[in-house]
Amino acid sequence: MAERDLEKMIKSAIKEKKAILGFRECIKFLKMNIPKVVIIANNIPESLRKEIEYNAKISRVEVKVFNRSSKELGVICGKPFPVSTIVIKE
């Protein structure tokens, strides 16, 4: 998926209130529900990345790496803070 398409998907999910931000919330949602997709920033720590990928594999959910930092991902989400992980609900 192209970077611009991923960015559009994120903005659309934020607008429609179908996005869940943050690592802890992501893990909770992966364990409770089946999200559409998980998006992670490219600078997320390896230990967190592995935990997300493990839980996503169990839930059979695709994990996409956003080729920008968590700060830039936060800006795209309209937040004044870094966002490492986004879950997009069905």
pLDDT greater than 90 at residue 3: no
Tell me the C-alpha distance between 64 and 79, whole Å.
20
In a domain, 58, yes or no: yes
Q: Please state the rounded mean pLDDT for residues 5-16.
A: 91
Judge whether 66 and 88 are in contact, CB under 8 Å. Answer: no
Q: How many domains does the chain have?
A: 1
What is the model's pTM? 0.89
Q: Average pLDDT of the chain?
A: 91
Specify the CATH number for the domain of residue 22.
Answer: 3.30.1330.30
Q: Can you tell me whether residue 53 is helix, strand or coil? A: helix
Q: Please state the rounded mean pLDDT for residues 19-26.
A: 93
